[in-house]
Amino acid sequence: MPAVTWERLERILPTVEKPGRYVGGEWNSVVKDWGDVETRVALCYPDLYEIGMSNMGLAILYDLVNRRPDMLAERAYAPWPDMAAAMRRARIPLYSLETRHPLAEFDVVGFTLQYELNYTNVLEMLDLAGIPLHSGERDERWPLVIAGGSSNYNPEPLADFFDLFVIGEGEEVLFELLELVHRLRGSGRADLLRAAARIPGIYVPSLYRVAYNLDGTVAEIQPAEPGVPERVLKRIVACLPPAVTRPVVPYLELVHDRAVVEIQRGCTEGCRFCQAGMIYRPVRERRPEEVMDAVDELLRNTGYDEVGLLSLASSDYSQIEPLLEALVARYAPQHVAISLPSLRVDAFSVSLAQKVQATRKAGLTFAPEAGSERLRAVINKNVTEEDLLQTAEAAYSLGWDRIKLYFMLGLPTETDEDVEAIARLARRVLAIGRQHRRARAQLSISTSTFVPKPHTPFQWMPLADLDVVDRRQRLLRERLRGRGLSFSWTAPQATLLEAALGRGDRRVAAVVEAAWRKGAVFDAWAEQFRPELWRQAFAEAGLDPHFYASRPRDLDEVLPWAHISVGVSIEFLAAEYERALRGEPTPDCRDGCHRCGVLQAFAAERKAVAKGVWECP
């Protein structure tokens, strides 16, 4: 199939909402001649352009692949239903934004999976591209369809559709795979998959057999042939890759519309609910001088007037204070704002925010996650009430009018008392605000529903009863009425689905496919989400979403992702689970190693870098 011509595309663009999503042409997008390269990769995000363009992982891979003279990477996103319908009517296949080649023309079509509620969009994109959905239906004439990303750590619910999954950080392993694809061009798909399965970090689901017990739990997951590893350990890079300093600058406004420098990967705090905190271990920092140089290049190459420093915990970056001072001194006169996500709840973090928001105090967000000391010990969010009150004191006294606090409902062991504690805390914080800001003091409380995730100490926990969560939400709304207070929550309607897909096994693939065939797409978008389609899809497959979402699991149950390892041992996760139930916190691992297993798993990678790069004692 030739590239989609601009003339054909222009016939449908005027008929759809926000056509700018589908045209490319952005500054720094890389358009290469297809004849000049040997291997071509489509990098796909299964959600709208505005969401997918903010993804750092794809930006890194786009940059790395396009630096290679023998390869190219182009982008594709999920078209909104109006565009998908227009494309089907006009028989325009899903195409890449750079050269408008149909996805089927690429050697490799790679998706990043960040969220379970995007899964139907993967099928929608493959179908729009005219690519057979099932791995088993694709021979070597079709692109190799692969996935990476954080939802990938339980690949099973999409095992039927992907030829292989890249587990972990893709910066090195992607090239090992692309070189293999190039070398084995012309040989059969089965041979390619067999060879790929030997690359550390690559999981080829078709080379594994899953057996089930009579009660529906997994009995065992075994390689189907010799040479296939029993467990796939995620890949990591010893050092952070060079910062992306020539990112695509979108025409359209994004969700996060700014230059971004990754300053740190991984997190040491060990919150038990947090998947990112477990799967991105170990912590690796980028040196401050490197950050400064990267910011400089980024601003010159993009023209942005805002830079975000990306990490899971900004306050934990060892040089955060001098780094911020240097950035502000250099860039404030050029009207460049610095944004700092994920601040720890402490006065130090307020002093950091003070550095970057000296004149424009737009509001500060903190995440105590739970209202009571008891529950925070359960989830290992090591923040005391005193910390929080001091943080509020610091923020309001320095001139912020508005603080936002973020909590989760439905956490393990939660009772009404823990929810009442959120309301009490809110009143105390607002009272501090009133002392300093009088009637201008504002406090926003925002809640979401906790969903247990694979590879965390809470992977064995049931999703909370959603009726109880709903009642607690209403309770909180009652308690949080009043001047200066506002309360917002994310509607839990898709929570059950997210929880079921997140911890689903291979049989759930049939459910995803059936739901998509009935018309489910963009399930993460409230206006598109149609729970009845999913109810039917589960029923037809003879499966119950509550079996996956709401069932407490025994510690010795074989989990559907048991053959995937992030380097954190099952013994560590189980010990953390038990400490949680006893209400015992585990300190930050900067204060002492808890032997999670990451150091042993990645001893070779650690040896490859200078001492001190990993702040993992």
Q: How far is CA 450 from CA 216, 269, 386, in A?
A: 25, 18, 25
- Tell me whether residue 47 or residue 98 sits nearer to another protein (CB atom): 98
Binding map of another protein across residues 304-323, x = CB under 8 A, - = no contact: xx------------------
Q: How far is the CB of 402 from another protein (least distance, A)?
A: 14
Q: Is 474 in the site for another protein (CB under 8 A)?
A: no
Q: Is 91 in the site for another protein (CB under 8 A)?
A: no
Q: Is 332 in the site for another protein (CB under 8 A)?
A: yes
Give the C-alpha separation, 264 to 318, whole Å: 10
Q: Is 303 in the site for another protein (CB under 8 A)?
A: yes
User: Given candidates 129, 207, 299, 566, which one binds another protein under the rule CB under 8 A?
Assistant: 299
The helix-helix angle for 288-302 and 320-331 (nearest 10°) equals 30
The answer to whether 605 and 236 are in contact (CB under 8 A) is yes
User: Given candidates 1, 8, 27, 139, which one binds another protein under the rule CB under 8 A?
Assistant: 27
Q: Is 296 in the site for another protein (CB under 8 A)?
A: no
Q: Is 251 in the site for another protein (CB under 8 A)?
A: yes
Q: How far is CA 560 from CA 111, 219, 232, 373, 543, in A?
A: 21, 9, 13, 33, 15
The amino acid occupying position 372 is: S
- Tell me whether residue 232 or residue 299 sits nearer to another protein (CB atom): 299
Given the rule CB under 8 A, which of 116-124, 188-196, 250-258, 486-494 is the region that contacts another protein? 250-258
Q: Is 329 in the site for another protein (CB under 8 A)?
A: no
Q: Is 239 in the site for another protein (CB under 8 A)?
A: no
Closest C-alpha among 205, 58, 69 to residue 134 = 205
Distance of CA 533 to the CA centre of its chain: 25
The amino acid occupying position 477 is: R
Q: Which residues pair with 112 in a beta bridge?
A: 148
Given the rule CB under 8 A, which of 216-224, 352-360, 415-423, 447-455 is the region that contacts another protein? 352-360
User: Given candidates 33, 215, 359, 481, which one binds another protein under the rule CB under 8 A?
Assistant: 359
Q: Is 8 in the site for another protein (CB under 8 A)?
A: no
Which 379-398 positions form the footprint of another protein (CB under 8 A)? none
Given the rule CB under 8 A, which of 13-21, 81-89, 470-478, 606-614 is the region that contacts another protein? 13-21
Distance of CA 343 to the CA centre of its chain: 18
Q: For the chain, what percentages of helix, strand and coil (3-state, to nearest 5) are there?
A: 40, 15, 40
71-77/39-45 β-pairing: parallel
The answer to whether 246 and 301 are in contact (CB under 8 A) is yes
Number of residues that bind another protein (CB under 8 A): 32
- Tell me whether residue 22 or residue 572 sits nearer to another protein (CB atom): 22
- Tell me whether residue 172 or residue 306 sits nearer to another protein (CB atom): 306
Q: Which residues of 215-241 are buried (b: 16+ CB within 10 A; e: fewer)?
A: eebbeebebeeeebbeebbbbbbbbbb
Cis before 462 (ω within 30): no
Q: Is 13 in the site for another protein (CB under 8 A)?
A: yes
Q: How far is the CB of 105 from another protein (least distance, A)?
A: 21
- Tell me whether residue 301 or residue 365 sits nearer to another protein (CB atom): 301
Sheet-wide strand order for 485-489? 364-369, 402-409, 442-449, 485-489
- Tell me whether residue 362 or residue 603 sits nearer to another protein (CB atom): 362
User: Given candidates 335, 481, 607, 611, which one binds another protein under the rule CB under 8 A?
Assistant: 335
- Tell me whether residue 28 or residue 490 sits nearer to another protein (CB atom): 28
Given the rule CB under 8 A, which of 60-68, 110-118, 301-309, 370-378 is the region that contacts another protein? 301-309
Q: Is 186 in the site for another protein (CB under 8 A)?
A: no
Q: How far is the CB of 4 from another protein (least distance, A)?
A: 14
The answer to whether 46 and 55 are in contact (CB under 8 A) is no
- Tell me whether residue 27 or residue 34 sits nearer to another protein (CB atom): 27
Q: How far is the CB of 300 from another protein (least distance, A)?
A: 7
Give the C-alpha separation, 157 to 549, whole Å: 13
The answer to whether 414 and 375 are in contact (CB under 8 A) is yes
Q: Is 224 in the site for another protein (CB under 8 A)?
A: no
Give start and end residues of each alpha helix (H) in 160-287: 170-183, 189-196, 275-279
State the distance between the two ends of the chain, measured CA to CA, in whole angstroms: 54
Give the C-alpha separation, 125 to 41, whole Å: 15
Q: Is 36 in the site for another protein (CB under 8 A)?
A: no
- Tell me whether residue 360 or residue 481 sits nearer to another protein (CB atom): 360
User: Given candidates 90, 358, 526, 581, which one binds another protein under the rule CB under 8 A?
Assistant: 358
Helix count (H) and strand count (E) of the chain? 22, 19
Give the C-alpha separation, 100 to 79, whole Å: 14
Q: How far is the CB of 86 from another protein (least distance, A)?
A: 14
Q: Is 106 in the site for another protein (CB under 8 A)?
A: no
Per DSSP (E only), the strands in 237-305 are 259-262, 264-265, 284-285
Largest CA distance in the chain: 74
Q: Is 33 in the site for another protein (CB under 8 A)?
A: no
Residues that bind another protein (CB under 8 A): 6, 10-11, 13-14, 19-20, 22-27, 29, 249, 251-253, 299-305, 332-333, 335, 337, 358-360
